[in-house]
Amino acid sequence: MNVTSLTQDLQLLENAAKQAGVLAMQWFNTSANTSPAKVWDKGGNHPVTEADLAVDKLLNTTLRQARPKYGWLSEESKDDGSRLKSKRVFVIDPIDGTRAFIKGKPHFSISLAIVENGRPIAGAVYNPALDEMYLAATGQGASANGKAINVRDCKALLNCSMIASDGLFKQKHWRNKWPEMNCESRNSMAYRIALVAAAKFDATLTLRPKSDWDLAAADLIAEEAGAVITDPNGQKFYYNLQSTSKSGVICAGKTVHDLILQQVKQRND
C-alpha cells in the first residue's frame, strides 16, 4: 500500500468532512424544538432531512471529482452496484445520527471512509457541532483533533462507562444479569465508536442492525486506537459486499470486549 497515496486520501477525507460540517451546521439549531431543516420519513421510520441530502451532494461532488476511479456507497445515494467493481470505494454517511441532528443535540457525525479489499484503509468521523475530528489510516494510528488516541482497556464490566441504552441491559432475554455500568446514549454509531477509541468511554454495544456507512470509518479509527470491534458473534467486519447490513456492534478494549461477547453469546434468542 502506497503510504503517500494513503496520506493524501486521508487528507482528502478530512478536508471534505470539514466542508460538510460547515454545510450541515447551517441547518443545526440547538435552541429549536423542531429542526430548521425539512424532515421526512424515507421508510421504516428512518428520518432524513434536507441537510442530509445537501451534505451527500457536496461530498459526492468533492470526493468523486478528486478520485473519479473510486466507487461510491452512501446512505443517501442510490446503490447501483457499480462499487463492487472498484478497487477502492468511498463509504459515506452524510449525517450519522439524524435524530440527534433534528433535535438539536450535538451527538451526530459525518462519517467518511475509503474501503479496499473489504476493509477501511482511511477514515474520518467528524462532529461539527463540537468540532471533534477523528482520523485514522491503516498502520498510521488514530487521532482526535491531531492528538494520538488509544482505547482504555478497562478490566471489568462493573462500573465501566458504556455508550448504550440502559434499557438494553434490563431486557428479559439475558441469561446472566449484567453488572452495574454507567450508561449514556448517543445517536450516531460512528461517533459512539470514535468516543470509545478516544478513551472517553470504555465500550459501546448495539444489537440493532447497522450498515456499512455507520461503521466503516469508525471501525478503522477503533482498530488503529487498539480497540476490538466486531459483530455480536465476535466476527470482524468486511465492507463493500453485496449486502451492506451488519447484525450489531461490540467495540471496547480487549478485556471488556471479551466480557461483553460472553454476555451476548449467552442471551436467550
CATH number at residue 16: 3.30.540.10
Q: Which domain holds residue 175?
A: 161-265
Q: Is residue 187 part of a domain?
A: yes
Instruction: Mention every residue, 6+ apart, whose C-beta is less than 8 A from residue 58.
Output: 19, 20, 23
Question: What does the pLDDT read at residue 31?
Answer: 61
**Pair 123, 40 in one domain:** yes
Q: CATH code at 245?
A: 3.40.190.80
For residues 168-172, give the mean pLDDT. 89
**Pair 36, 142 in one domain:** yes
For residues 15-34, give the mean pLDDT. 86
Cell of 111: 462519517
pTM above 0.85, yes or no: yes
Instruction: Mention every residue, 6+ apart, whose C-beta is less than 8 A from residue 43.
Output: none
Residue 54 and residue 61 in contact, taking contact as beta carbons nearer than 8 Å: no
Q: What pLDDT, in 10s, does the model give residues 66-121?
A: 999 999 999 999 999 999 999 999 999 999 999 999 999 999 999 999 999 999 99
User: Model confidence at 12, in pLDDT bands (50, 70, 90)?
Assistant: very high
**Pair 140, 257 in one domain:** no
For residues 50-59, give the mean pLDDT. 96
Last residue of a domain, one of 124, 148, 172: 148
Per-chain mean pLDDT for the chain = 94
**Pair 193, 74 in one domain:** no
Instruction: Mention every residue, 6+ apart, whose C-beta is less than 8 A from residue 137.
Output: 6, 7, 9, 10, 121, 122, 123, 220, 224
Q: Is residue 156 part of a domain?
A: no
Question: What does the pLDDT read at residue 268?
Answer: 61
Question: What does the pLDDT read at residue 245?
Answer: 96
Q: Phi and psi for 116 in degrees, rounded to 5?
A: -140, 130
**Pair 104, 222 in one domain:** no
Report the share of the chain in percent with pLDDT over 90. Answer: 85
The number of domains in the chain is 2
**Pair 143, 196 in one domain:** no
